[in-house]
A = this chain, B = another copy of it.
Amino acid sequence: MRSEADERTMREFRTRRKIEFVDTDQGGIVHFSRFFVFMETAEHQFLEALGSSVDQVIAGRRVGWPRVSAACSYKSPARFGDTLEIMVRVVRRGRTSMSYAFEFRAEGREIAQGQMTSVCCELEPGRPIRPIPIPEPIASQVSD
């Protein structure tokens, strides 16, 4: 049985994004690399909705979320002027990492599906990138 606290944890998030001219290529469709940018910004909006900044400084050290993997499969082309509906879902919350699934739709059509895993890291200039436990308020709001 899931506890009330668990039920209050947030694992899904929806956002929208309008395709810009610069997103297109000469094939007349959105360049496939842009979906990775769309995923990242949706991830950031999700973290913000949890009350966290992506650009945190914790104990005087800059914290960021470099990716360890990202993937996308393309079902139907998106075009200039389309508004993408983007669904973000946490599929796994580890001690230092978050794995997300993404669904992109436009006017009922399935456009693409993506996955991404980000690791919470200390990102001090001139120092090696080091994983750290997921900080608050994210940790307590996304059940593991």
Contacts and interface: CB of A to CB of B under 8 A. Distances in A.
Interface of A: 20-22, 24-29, 31-34, 36-37, 40-41, 44, 53-55, 62, 64, 66-74, 77, 79-81, 123, 125, 129
Given A71-B69, A74-B66, A80-B55, A40 B22 contact: yes
18 contacts: A20-B44, A21-B26, A21-B31, A22-B41, A26-B29, A26-B55, A26-B79, A26-B80, A27-B66, A28-B123, A29-B129, A32-B66, A32-B67, A53-B81, A68-B73, A69-B72, A70-B72, A71-B72
Contacts of A81: 53-55
B26 A28 contact: yes
Contact of A37 (B20, B53, B77): B20
Q: Which 7 A-B pairs have the closest CB atoms?
A: A71-B71, A24-B26, A33-B36, A69-B73, A32-B67, A26-B28, A22-B37
A66 B70 contact: no
Contacts of A79: 26
A34 B20 CA distance: 13
A86 B69 CA distance: 18
Contacts of A53: 81
Contacts of A26: 21, 24-29, 55, 79-80
Nearest to A26: B24
Contacts of A72: 69-71
